[in-house]
Each structure stands twice: as C-alpha cells, then as structure tokens.
Amino acid sequence: MITRFKNTLTNLGPGLLYAGAAVGVSHLVMSTKAGASYEFLFLLLIPLIHLIKYPFYKFGPQYTALTGRNILHGYHALGKWALGTYIVMTVLSMCLIQAAVTIVTSSIAIHFFGLSFPAEYMPHIPAILVLIAATTILYVGQYSLLDKMMKAIIIILTLTTVTALVMVLFASQEDSESTASPLFSLYEHADIIFLAAFLGWMPAPMDVSVWHSVWSEENNRENGQQLSLPKAMLDFRVGFFGTGLLAMAFLSLGAMVMFGSGEAPSEKGAVFAGQLIDMYTHSLGDWAYPLIGIAALATMFSTTITCLDAYPRTLEESYFIWKGQGEYASRHGATKKVYRVMLAAAVIGTIAIFLIIKNVTGAMGLIVTIATVVSFISAPVIAYINYQVMQGETIKKEDRPDRLMALWSKAGITIMALFSLTYLLLIVVR
C-alpha cells in the first residue's frame, strides 16, 4: 500500500502544479468568505462549476499526452487569431492576477511573522518583497525546483484542512446552532459581484488549462520521456477533483466557524489572514498555530510562484510558436533568455499595480475581486478555443472528443457565455 502511494506520488507532477495554482485565492479567500458570508448557500456550486469546466481543463494535459506538444501549438494550428487572442488575454490579466495572489501571500506573511510596516508602506512594500523572493527562486531553479516544492505543500495543506474540518464537525454537535440566516439577492450589487468572483476563479482561472499543458511538456522534457495518456489523466484528475474537495472543505470551515459569529470577513489583507489562521486554531487548538500558519503561507506562496512561472512560460511558448520556432531544438538556447524577459515584464507590471493601489483602503479585496471577475468573463473564450483545438487537425479523428464529451463541452461553453453576458448586463443596467 505504501509502495503504491509512493509510486503514485512520484508519477504526479503537472497535476500538483495545477493544484498549487488553484488552491490559493479561490480556496483560502473566496471559498472561506463564501462560507463566512452565505453559510452553505454556495456549497453545491463548487461541484457544479467543476462539472461545467471539467472538459476544458482536461483538454490541456490530454492534448500534450496525445501529441507530445503543448496546446498552444493547437491554438496556432487553428489560426493566428486563436493564439493572438490568448496572448492578448494573458497580457491583460497577467499582472492583475499576479497582484491578487501576491498581496494575499504577503498579508498572511505579515500576520504569521508579526511583521510591522509603517502605514505608508502598506500593502505594496511587503507584496513587492514576496514577489522578489518568488522571482529569485524561478530565476535560479525554474521548473524542477517548482515541481519538488509542490508535493510537500499540497500534502500538508490537505491534511491540515481535512483534520480541521473533522474537528469542527465534532465540535459543532456540542455547540448551539446559530440563529443567523444566509442572505443572497440578485438585486444586491455586492452579492452579484461576489458570485461572479467566486465562480470566476473556481477552481482556477481558465488559463490554467493552458499552463497545465505547458507544464506537462516541460515535465516530459525534464524526464526524457512522454507521459502516457492514462498516467497524464490520473495526474490531472488527482489535482482537479482534489482541489474541488478542498474548496468545499474551506467553504464548510468558513460556514461553521465564521458564519453568524458577528465577525465579517475583512477586506484588509493582514486582518483577513488573521481570521483565516484563527479559523483553524479555533478548530484544532492553539498548538496548531505554527503548523497552520506555515501551511497557509506555503500554499499562497506556491500559488504566487506557480502563477509567476506560468505567465512568462506560456508567453515564451507563444512567442516562439508565433515565430515558427515551435520545436524546442530550433530555438538555439534562446528559451531561457526569452523566459526571463517575460518574467521581468510580469514582475514590473505587477509592481506597477501595487504602486497604483498603495493608498486604496481594502486593496486586497479590490484586486482579488477585479482579477476574479476578469477570469469569469474570459473563461468561455478560452474554453471555446480549447474545444476547437481538440476537434482540429492536430488531433487524430479517433482521439477527438466523443459525442458525450462534445455535447458536454458545448453545454459548458454556452452556460459560461450566458453567465458572463448576464453579469455584464446586470452591471450595465445598474
């Protein structure tokens, strides 16, 4: 049994990088806030949105397992419009999303280590320091170090979260029930914005389907062999469904510990970080504070570093594919140089956002909301391109989505597009 577990863990790679990117703002922040604000009202939306988005996340690693290449080659085969659309959407969202995950990471670090910064340096200086640390790791170690870090981080977070949830479930049987009732209204702007943000980054931005494919190709290159389709799908499903269950656990913790307590989730990063860690220690005891703090910090730092790796890496791939240098061997050693230029661009753009919002009250909440809503609106576009790629000429006819998967994909694209249009209409009408 232990040997089988070790073998399974050894075979996991890109799927855990997917988990590292997913289990961040959408879980620690959005899922916890959903439970704290609306109790269990949004709980079933988590498996539902996973069901709707499943085919499009699956297509990323599936494409690489079938072709040996990342899915951006499929984008290019559809036409430059597809690859160009992805590049534009990535450039527009990259720094926003990077700023969102980094500012949450720095908020947890400030609370956990008891750091103190003058008001005029908050929240941008600690966030910039976190960004520099992540950049240094990627500049030196790139994919191999990232892959090794992720396995330990995801296992620790999963064990602590499940343990905390079990403890709360037992404790809740003894405590008196709260008299508070969850309230949600389609006529309330704040409720609509939160719902769009919650669904937009659940389980992760749709960009992650492309990241997963690029990581899979890099993993094959590092190991000197192409991962088989069954192993690639196992790796994907462990990450995809595992993070879905974790999201439900975070929401449940927020509902059982924070909802009806009279303490609303704070929009101030350091304050919310304290609420998050206290939620665990309330369940497990004060002895767990160091473990939980480290797990939460490591999780958000892993999200910061995976996002900071993924955006430059996918832009670097897009650059070479656009130039007709899709084959790795044809790049004549220029890959690392282009990657580092893209990395520098991502860092500079993110720092610019920090400086712009440095005097904004509740900056964490504002940046997270904007980033997640952008993901909500862009999701159907990337989903549509992913589906077209799997129906395209780079995939053999026998490997293309079957009738059920095709219907599933079309339904998912339609639902996400209707959600986005409805959301935009509500904003305009308001």
- Rounded to whole angstroms, the Cα distance separating 131 from 301 reads 9
pLDDT digits (tens, 9 = 90+) for 177-219: 555 677 788 778 788 878 887 887 788 889 999 999 998 998 8
- Rounded to whole angstroms, the Cα distance separating 111 from 141 reads 28
Residue-level pLDDT at 163: 81
CB within 8 Å of 376: residues ≥ 6 apart:
196, 197, 199, 200, 201, 419, 420, 423
In a domain, residue 259? The reply is: yes
CB 423 within 8 A of CB 377: yes
Band of pLDDT at residue 5, cut at 50, 70 and 90: very low
pLDDT digits (tens, 9 = 90+) for 129-181: 999 988 888 877 655 566 666 667 777 778 878 887 888 787 755 554 555 67
As a whole number, the mean pLDDT across the chain is 83
Selection from 72-86, 184-198, 242-256, 411-425 with the highest mean pLDDT:
72-86
135: nearest Cα among 293, 294, 307 = 307
pTM of the model: 0.86
CB 20 within 8 A of CB 154: yes
Band of pLDDT at residue 97, cut at 50, 70 and 90: confident
pLDDT digits (tens, 9 = 90+) for 9-38: 555 678 877 887 788 778 888 888 899 889
Residue-level pLDDT at 57: 96
Q: What type of residue sits at position 18?
A: Y
194: nearest Cα among 36, 372, 27 = 372
More confident: 301 or 295:
301
Q: Is the pLDDT of residue 270 over 80?
A: no
* HSE value, Cβ hemisphere, 13 Å, CA-based, for 161: 28
Residue-level pLDDT at 375: 78
Minimum mean pLDDT range among 148-152, 234-238, 335-339: 148-152
Residue-level pLDDT at 247: 92
In a domain, residue 147? The reply is: yes
CB 314 within 8 A of CB 76: no
pLDDT digits (tens, 9 = 90+) for 298-327: 778 888 888 898 899 899 999 999 988 767
In a domain, residue 367? The reply is: yes
Band of pLDDT at residue 256, cut at 50, 70 and 90: confident
CB 206 within 8 A of CB 420: no
- Rounded to whole angstroms, the Cα distance separating 180 from 173 reads 17
Minimum mean pLDDT range among 155-164, 360-369, 388-397: 360-369
Residue-level pLDDT at 148: 65
User: Is the backbone of residue 224 left (phi > 0), alpha (psi -120 to 50) or beta?
Assistant: left
Number of domains in the chain: 1
Residue-level pLDDT at 22: 82
In a domain, residue 383? The reply is: yes
Band of pLDDT at residue 275, cut at 50, 70 and 90: confident
Band of pLDDT at residue 386, cut at 50, 70 and 90: very high
The full DSSP string for 66-132 is HHSS-THHHHHHH-HHHHHHHHHHHHHHHHHHHHHHHHHHHHHHHHHHT----GGGTTHHHHHHHHH
Q: Is the pLDDT of residue 60 over 50?
A: yes
Residue-level pLDDT at 56: 96
Neighbours of 362 (CB within 10 A): 17
**With helix as H, strand as E and coil as C, how does 6-56 read?**
HHHHHHCCHHHHHHHHHCCHHHHHHHHHHHHHHCCCCCCHHHHHHHHHHHH
Residue with tokens 């690859």: 83
Share above pLDDT 90 across residues of the chain, in percent, rounded to a whole number: 30
Residue-level pLDDT at 201: 77
In a domain, residue 7? The reply is: no
In a domain, residue 54? The reply is: yes
CA trace torsion 221, 227, 229, 235 (10° rounding) = -100
Range of the domain at 112: 14-174+188-429
Say how far residue 101 (Cα) sits from the centre of its chain: 9
Q: Is the pLDDT of residue 98 over 70?
A: yes
Residue-level pLDDT at 140: 74
Residue-level pLDDT at 268: 67
213: nearest Cα among 197, 235, 195 = 235
In a domain, residue 182? The reply is: no
Band of pLDDT at residue 71, cut at 50, 70 and 90: very high
Using a 10 angstrom Cβ sphere, with 0-12 exposed, 13-18 middle and 19 or more buried, the burial of residue 430 is: exposed
Q: Is the pLDDT of residue 390 over 60?
A: yes
CB 427 within 8 A of CB 98: no
Q: What type of residue sits at position 163?
A: T
Residue-level pLDDT at 262: 67
- Rounded to whole angstroms, the Cα distance separating 18 from 269 reads 24
In a domain, residue 297? The reply is: yes
Q: Is the pLDDT of residue 272 over 60?
A: yes
Bond preceding residue 118 cis, omega within 30 of 0: no
What is the CATH number for 387? Answer: 1.20.1740.10
